[in-house]
Amino acid sequence: MKSSRTGNALWILLAGLLGACGGGPPPEQALEVAGRFQLFVDDHVVREMRQVTRRLNPLKKHPANPILKPDRPWEGQFTHPNFVVFDQDDRLYKMWYVYIDRDQEPGEQYLRVDRSSAGRAYAISRDGIVWEKPELGLVRVPGAGLKNNAVVHNPSLYDIRDPDPRKRYKAVIGTGDNSRDMGVAFSPDGLTWTPYPGNPVIDQKVGAGKVIWDDRIQRYVGFLRPLPSPPVAAMGNVSIRVIGRSTSPDFLKWDLPQNQVVLAPDEQDPMDTQFYTASVFKDRGVYFAFLSVYHANSLMVDIQLAFSRDGIEWQRVGKRHPILTYGMPDRFDSHGIYVYSPPVVLEEEIRVYYLGQDEGHTLTPGDLAVMAHRPAALPPGTEEALSEYRGAAWWFGVMPQPWALHGGAGGLALARRDGFVSLDAGADPGEVVTRTLWCRGGTLVVNADASDPSVWRREVNRWKKHPGGQGEIRVELLDENGSVLSGFEAGRCDPIRADSVAHAVSWNGQSDLSSLQDRKIRIRFLLTNAKLYSFRLGS
């Protein structure tokens, strides 16, 4: 919200007059935020902003990419990170991935990949960058016997809260004759699995998706792709790829994702937009989704960011610009980026493991059914061609590359902690005022970059140094009516002029807020040439 100081003064005067007459707006209810970092993805904690821009910060690809390449005979040309965790006990990164051998028969090379050619495997790493593929001896692989790193299933959830250690890892698996009915399996280590004997738990087709434990509602929540997809009004009432929501109290009894579609393209999206999958996770009390967005006209896939406060109503971030997009034509990820695994959240960094592809998505019968590639006018007699995949692909001149030519490898992209979205101010000083908050003592900690912008820009763009002034952040504390609290004025604040995920704010060297214990306050951030990511009030 943008407003002027004059406007605020008039509003205060008007509020005072109304209050004298017994009316006026009710006092603002204070938010309880003690000890929890607050993000700026929306205005949940923001009352006012001036000269500040909310900015989406793209992920940065790691220079060592690709970090997981197909280098075993059974892996074909495709290694797809599917689930990655950092095991605190073992001090190891653990990755489960999909490999696909796409060397199909010549007559089938233009069809979709045969699922029987796909396998699952396991890798470990001490730094999350260099990966080893241990010999497990669990699954017999053609040409390799048991001397390989293959496993039966990939996890969907690492469930540390489950008291049963045999169910520490949980998987959503395909079952039934078409391998699309949803089943579940359990494992103590992610390597040896026990399928649930009552499978399938959903006897309808379900597409790709991920599962979280939602502590807010004390249920498992799956963000799954309904099959068949329901019609989407914004896309002309045709069935396209969308994301549904399914819940379960015990990982066994599930709602149908078809009954609650929570992420679907709308009127602001181009008509060829589809949501391939959503990697959903919770962080700082906010639900985030890395949406693998399929652009059917170009056969390209990139990643957009969405967020939610309840897991049901979602908003897209950054005017729908990608937070992670495909690379240059000579790169392993030149045509498609897919994120299936939840990120690995570290103290100062967030690591996002993704699949990069060097060819466009294969044109499927479903794409043709929604006319993503349909010409403006079809000559007489060619409507029938749309019912046949080969005929349609031949007519449109978009016959996909043979699957055997597609390559896929694992990549790594990075973000700073709480760094997906920031509030940015330039040389003109900016101001952010929070809503009324309960102060429970402790300290105020700020995640912000107030370093010299010329240095920051030189690191990103090494061949061009942009001149810029020193960054600075000062903070002052207000009472619930907006008056500055004595001793916590901006002039007394020790200025922040560096980059850190945990600046301790102080006034004349003192950071202790015990004198404000159980008081209602507001926080005013004054920024110049700085990026503000989050803050924590209290211990």
Is residue 482 a part of any domain in this protein? yes
Lowest mean pLDDT among 61-70, 136-145, 308-317, 477-486: 136-145
CA quadruple 317, 318, 319, 320: dihedral sign:
negative
Residue with the two structure tokens 């309808």: 204
CA dihedral 226, 228, 234, 236 (to 10 degrees): 180
Is residue 339 a part of any domain in this protein? no
CA distance 277 to 264: 11
Q: Which helix (H) or strand (E) holds 113?
A: none
Is residue 506 a part of any domain in this protein? yes
Is residue 489 a part of any domain in this protein? yes
Maximum Cα–Cα distance for the chain, whole Å?
A: 87
| pLDDT bracket for residue 14 (50, 70, 90) | very low
Q: Over 60: is that where the pLDDT of 105 sits?
A: no
Strand, helix or coil for residue 393: helix
Q: Over 90: is that where the pLDDT of 359 sits?
A: no
Q: First-to-last CA distance in the chain? A: 29
- The residues with which 154 forms a beta bridge, in sequence order, are none
How buried is 58 (Cβ within 10 angstroms: 0-12 exposed, 13-18 middle, 19+ buried)?
Answer: middle
Q: How many structural domains is the chain composed of?
A: 1
CA distance 485 to 373: 62
520: containing domain: 26-56+422-537
Is residue 47 a part of any domain in this protein? yes
What confidence score (pLDDT) does residue 231 get? 84
Segment 437-454 mean pLDDT? 90
247 C-beta neighbours (distance < 10 Å), count: 16
Is residue 315 a part of any domain in this protein? no
What CATH number corresponds to the domain at position 505? 2.60.120
Segment 79-99 mean pLDDT? 96
Q: Over 60: is that where the pLDDT of 504 sits?
A: yes
Is residue 177 a part of any domain in this protein? no
Q: Over 60: is that where the pLDDT of 307 sits?
A: yes
Is residue 529 a part of any domain in this protein? yes
CA distance 68 to 117: 19
Q: Over 50: is that where the pLDDT of 509 sits?
A: yes
Q: Over 60: is that where the pLDDT of 30 sits?
A: yes
Q: State what percent of residues in the chain have pLDDT above 90.
A: 68
pTM for the model: 0.87
Within its chain, how far is the Cα of 28 from the centroid?
32
CA distance 181 to 324: 31
Q: Over 70: is that where the pLDDT of 238 sits?
A: yes
Per-residue pLDDT of 281-301, as tens digits, reads: 999 999 999 999 999 888 899
CA distance 334 to 330: 7
What's 195-210 look like in SS3? ECCCCCCEEEEEEEEE
| pLDDT bracket for residue 179 (50, 70, 90) | low
Segment 388-401 mean pLDDT? 41
Residue (of 442, 347, 527, 433) closest to 46 by Cα position? 433
Lowest mean pLDDT among 224-238, 430-444, 475-489: 224-238
How buried is 423 (Cβ within 10 angstroms: 0-12 exposed, 13-18 middle, 19+ buried)?
Answer: buried
- The residues with which 338 forms a beta bridge, in sequence order, are 355
| pLDDT bracket for residue 365 (50, 70, 90) | low
